Amino acid sequence: MDFVRKWVQGLFFLITNGYWNFPVSRGIYQGPLKVICSPGLNCYSCPAATSYCPLGALQQLMGGIRLALENGQIYVGFYVIGAMGAIGSFVGRMICGWACPFGLFQELLHKIPSPTFTIWRPLRFLKYGFLLFMVVLLPLFAVDSFGFGQTWFCKYICPAGTLEAGLPLLILQPALRESLGLLFLNKLAILIFFTAWSVVASRPFCRTTCPLGAFYALFNKVKLVKLRLDTQRCTNCEACHDVCPMGVHFNESPDDMECITCLACSKACKVNAISLEIGGLPISNQSPYRTPQAQSE
Amino acid sequence: MKRTQKPSIPKIRKAPFVAIFVFLALGAVGISLGEPSRVLEQATQVCLACIGIG
């Protein structure tokens, strides 16, 4: 299944970054597909990007809300939040495991042989702070004299933007190098930090910082496609603990907000206690109509 | 007399469908307000400050 997942990740990477004419045009894609929401974290200033980043678009809309309202335009983010919410309600953080280019980047880095460290679990709460403050509240309320807010997360934190947009644009447009300053150095340091951290720990950005993952995590209890635990089959052998890239103890918290539905636990489970379900209906070789007698056989 | 136990029939969860409908409706409101054109306008321009340049 991990093989299939890697192919799906690669496919989503290519779909959301399908503009391969950028070495010739030396600019970004400007076609109509950019009205489509990228499910994962994928900077829309990336020269190859063919869809918009929901986080970037949301910050832009939050930052420009005053000016828009003054001009009689009710641009308050319904379109972007609607798209994000529909994706979240459908698959939740499965996007992180199957469709996020930056998630794939971290996974590939973690394949480099190195000592492995765990991530202190309370750090996972940081990403909800980034979502609330840097994506919503600061762009909305910290405005300049013209009433325009900044894209705080993109500008000061997002390593995906530096990797996918900042560095490629500096290569494609050498004139931009004259504009570099402390801001870019700060962002480059953050990218290097997360790159190094990804080598020695599994998905550190997803687990501690990503506001998009935090948003999708809010849907982990109500999402349509999710993993289910058969408590009658589960022997609490804890085989699912060791394989989870997000540090989830699935047998203890099947609706954990960190679960990215990568199915690693399902594969590791010797008693087939973990299966995928859609809207409450299991999709697996286990019969949903098993009686207790049948289970004991 | 031996009691037979009814097999457990999985329930369809309604919450995901409600949530999907609500957010699609929200998106439709956004479309009716013309937000996609604003999003497209932003997404087709390079915001240098947003990526730490300039």
ipTM: 0.89
Interface touch B54/A165, C-beta < 8 Å: no
**Which amino acid makes up residue A89?**
S
Higher pLDDT, A268 or B1: A268
Helices A54-63 and A78-91 meet at what angle, rounded to 10?
150
Predicted confidence at residue A292, as pLDDT, reads 43
Q: CA dist A203 to A32, A240, A266, Å?
A: 32, 17, 19
CB atoms within 10 A of CB A19: 18
pLDDT tens digits along A69-96: 888 888 989 999 999 999 999 999 999 9
Please report where in the chains the tokens 């349509």 appear, as a residue.
Answer: A224
Strand ranges, E, within chain A: 225-229, 274-278, 281-283
Tokens matching residue A63: 């930052």
**Which of A10-14, A36-40, A107-111, A147-151 has the weakest average pLDDT?**
A147-151
The pLDDT score that the predictor gives to residue A151 is 94
Percent of chain A with pLDDT over 90: 87
Closest B-chain CA to A69:
B33
Which band of pLDDT confidence, cut at 50, 70 and 90, is reported for residue A282? confident
Task: Please check the confidence at residue B37 and state whether its pLDDT lies above 70.
Answer: yes
Contact A32, B43 (CB under 8 A): no
Q: Which residues of chain B make contact with A296, given a CB cutoff of 8 A?
A: none
Residue range A154-159: mean pLDDT, rounded: 95
Instruction: Answer whether A286's CB lies under 8 Å from A230's CB.
Output: yes
Neighboring chain B residues of A179 at a CB cutoff of 8 Å? 48, 53-54
Of A52, A77, A280, the CB nearest to B43: A52
Q: Hey, what amino acid is at A191?
A: L
Whether residue B5 and residue A224 make contact (CB cut-off 8 A), yes or no, is: no
Q: Which amino acid is at A167?
A: L
| pLDDT of amino acid B4 | 58
Whole-angstrom distance, CA of residue A221 vs CA of residue A224: 9
CA distances from A198 to A159, A166, A193, A202, A208 (A): 12, 20, 9, 6, 12
